[in-house]
Amino acid sequence: MKMKGNPNFCFRDGKLYTRNLVRGFRVHGEDAFTEKGVEWRNWRPQHSKLAAAIKKGLKTEIPVGASVLYLGAANGVTPSFVSDLVGHTGIVYCVEFAPRSASDLIRVCEQRENMVPILADARTPKKYAEVGVVDFVFEDVADPEQARIMLANSCFLGKGGIGMIAVKARCVDSTEDPRRVFARVESELEDAFEIREKLDIEPFEADHEFLLLEKK
């Protein structure tokens, strides 16, 4: 079953799949199947917070042709699935700070024409200001200042632009009740964003909250 807004995504037997932009190329040994000449890659929610949010009922889709700024791209696994979603007419700017992860990320980007690697710190968006305005900013950064990072990168969103953030309670404050951490992060974001969706992504990730934000 395909999602109504994006033909590059489907559910099959309860699993998530994306239409492989680069047929035959696997990013992390994921399963795939081919049907009617189209290859579909299995997107596991155990390995991706965005996939976990979709599995748990995220309503807002990333459409074909969208531009996405991905903060905390790591070795490129989840960004590659976002690359599938946006297709050849979209683009994914992948920001990663750790050189080892960035090395893996670059290898993935070399195979995918719509992925652009950026070796930079997500806390200093001026370093990649040339990205310009995008449709989505997705943040998956293990940092106590997660809210501040999203706010700093909100400069890439116009009014109505969408932010997505996987709030990691134990990274923000390992000693505090996760519910209090989530409430504090939400409060820090509310001046710049309206919270449109809020999801607990357990059992795929413990002590995480996924927020879908709309720029005011």
Report long-range pairs for 190-193 (Cβ below 8 Å, ≥24 apart): 191/216, 192/151, 192/154, 192/216, 193/150, 193/154, 193/163
Strands 134-139 and 157-168: parallel
For the stretch 127-173, pLDDT in tens is 999 999 999 999 999 899 999 999 999 999 999 999 999 999 888 88
Q: Provide the 3-class DSSP secondary structure of residue 122.
A: coil
C-alpha 209/C-alpha 141 separation (Å) is 13
Mean pLDDT by 10 residues, the chain (216 residues): 73 95 92 95 96 96 97 97 98 96 96 97 97 98 94 98 95 87 95 97 94 98
The alpha-helical segments, DSSP class H, found in the chain are 49-55, 77-86, 99-111, 146-153, 169-172, 178-189
Structure tokens at 105: 């990320």
CB 138 within 8 A of CB 68: yes
Domains of the chain: 44-215 (3.40.50.150)
Output the pLDDT for position 28.
Answer: 87
Output the pLDDT for position 142.
Answer: 87
Output the pLDDT for position 4.
Answer: 55
Output the pLDDT for position 64.
Answer: 97
Q: Is the CA virtual torsion 202, 208, 209, 210 positive or negative?
A: negative
